[in-house]
Structure 1
Amino acid sequence: MSLNLFAAIRNRILYHPTWRDADDFDEIWKQRIELLASFISQRGVVADFGCGMMWLERYLPPACTYLPLDLHRRDDRTVIFDANRDAIPDRPFAIAFLSGMLEYVASPEGFFGQLIERRPSQIVMSYVSTDLLPGRAHRRSLHWQSHLSTREILSRLVGPYRLSRYQELRGNQLFSFEVAQERHV
């Protein structure tokens, strides 16, 4: 395990984030967000689920429009959304962006189900799977509510989507899924 990941884990164990203040967000996450933004290959509205400090906006391709969704209002554009309580808002978007938020979703299966029903053309996401950080007690100490393996993520999304890109960065798995093209025989 890298020293950066270890330090982040230690800090999360000692502090329970409310996601209201800038102190709840680690500047190192910008690197993950910037790299994930480079995975965006579609045009259109990018729904930034759990937008936090809205760092994604500065890294978006010019053909994309930003739609921030979060527990707390970040600016006048923010759509208030709690993935553990609310249905995905009925707002049009082409790309779903999830950076560091899925770990905090109690029912990722339900969230994925809603997301698939919305049929974005691309899902770009990060996740720390149980393959990389096992042990539910340890994960819960980080206040994480979901505990998926890589296989479980793939089994939920591959079918309606195809995995178009994968990379690891400091203990995070980075995925891009694009709508699977129907095959005509």
Structure 2
Amino acid sequence: MVMVSFVKKVINFFNKKKTIQWKNIENFDPNWKERIKDMSRYIDSGSVIVDLGCGEMWLKEFITEKESYIPVDYMSRGGDTIVCDFNNYEYPKTNSDTAFVSGCLEYIEDFKWFVEKISQSNTKCILSYCTTEYFPNMESRKQLAWKNNLSKFEVISLFESNQLFLVDENLTKTNNQIFVFKK
């Protein structure tokens, strides 16, 4: 009995030392569709949309045949997915005008590089992000495998420093902040 307790303590110690990765806890909550639907209303008709961190590609449900859709994720989500690991400085070469980033920025280690790439490739970005104002518990953020902890002001400043300026914002029922940036 004592040995089992000791082994559990050792395992817990090493588990706490390990960095939690999204791929190890990946889970797609169908309730996130509501957030994606809210964000999709900011898409301009006829846009070419690059869905960065596309996951289950739920955005496809909310766009029309007038828009072009380019799914990107760290692993294939289907035949047309462009595979890029943003944490390995991989970014897709696309001819998009709108970056759609729903629940992805939190998992990016070099978020400054990521936003710079978005700005170089797009004239608009529709972003959801869990800011520290609404998700202040750092331990909870860490348990969710989030790699950065930005306030609303820091998010806006980051995009503005890359010539993408806030034109609209909203807050979902689950306190995800939606930002719309344009050049």
> What one-letter code is carried by the residue in structure 2 that aligns with 1:139?
R
Q: 1:72 to 1:19 in 2, by over 3 A?
A: farther
Tell me the equivalent position of 1:176: 180
Which one of 128, 131, 138 corresponds to residue 130 of structure 2? 128
Shift, 1:76, TM fit: 1.2
Shift, 1:91, TM fit: 1.6
Q: 1:17 to 1:121 in 2, by over 3 A?
A: closer
The number of residues matched between the two structures is 162
Q: Distance in 1 between matches of 2:40 and 2:171?
A: 14
> What one-letter code is carried by the residue in structure 1 that aligns with 2:106?
E
The 3-state SS of whatever aligns with 2:118 is: helix
Tell me the equivalent position of 1:18: 23
Kept in 1, the 8 Å contact 2:22–2:107? The answer is no
Unaligned runs of 5+ residues in structure 2 are 1-19
TM-score, normalised relative to structure 2? 0.81
Q: 1:17 to 1:157 in 2, by over 3 A?
A: closer
Shift, 1:109, TM fit: 1.0
Which one of 148, 151, 160 corresponds to residue 150 of structure 2? 148
TM-score, normalised relative to structure 1? 0.81
Q: Distance in 2 between matches of 1:178 and 1:42?
A: 15
Runs of 4+ in 1 over 6 A off after TM superposition: none
Say whether residues 1:97 and 2:100 are aligned partners.
yes
Computed over aligned residues only, the root mean square deviation of the Cα atoms, in angstroms, reads 2.0
> What one-letter code is carried by the residue in structure 2 that aligns with 1:47?
V
Task: Trace 1:22-33 onto structure 2 (pairs within 5 A).
Answer: 24-33=27-36
The 3-state SS of whatever aligns with 1:84 is: helix
Tell me the equivalent position of 1:56: 59
Shift, 1:19, TM fit: 7.5
Which one of 130, 133, 139 corresponds to residue 141 of structure 2? 139
Q: Distance in 1 between matches of 2:38 and 2:24?
A: 22
Identity of aligned residues (%): 29
Say whether residues 1:115 and 2:118 are aligned partners.
yes
Kept in 1, the 8 Å contact 2:98–2:126? The answer is yes
Q: Compare the two structures and name the one with the higher helix fraction.
A: 2
Say whether residues 1:46 and 2:60 are aligned partners.
no
Tell me the equivalent position of 1:4: none
Shift, 1:20, TM fit: 9.4
Q: Distance in 2 between matches of 1:116 and 1:163?
A: 13
Unaligned runs of 5+ residues in structure 1 are 1-14, 180-185
> What one-letter code is carried by the residue in structure 2 that aligns with 1:128?
C
Q: Distance in 1 between matches of 2:69 and 2:81?
A: 10
Tell me the equivalent position of 2:87: 84
Kept in 2, the 8 Å contact 1:19–1:52? The answer is no
Q: Distance in 1 between matches of 2:94 and 2:130?
A: 28
Please identify the structure whose Cα radius of gyration is greater.
2
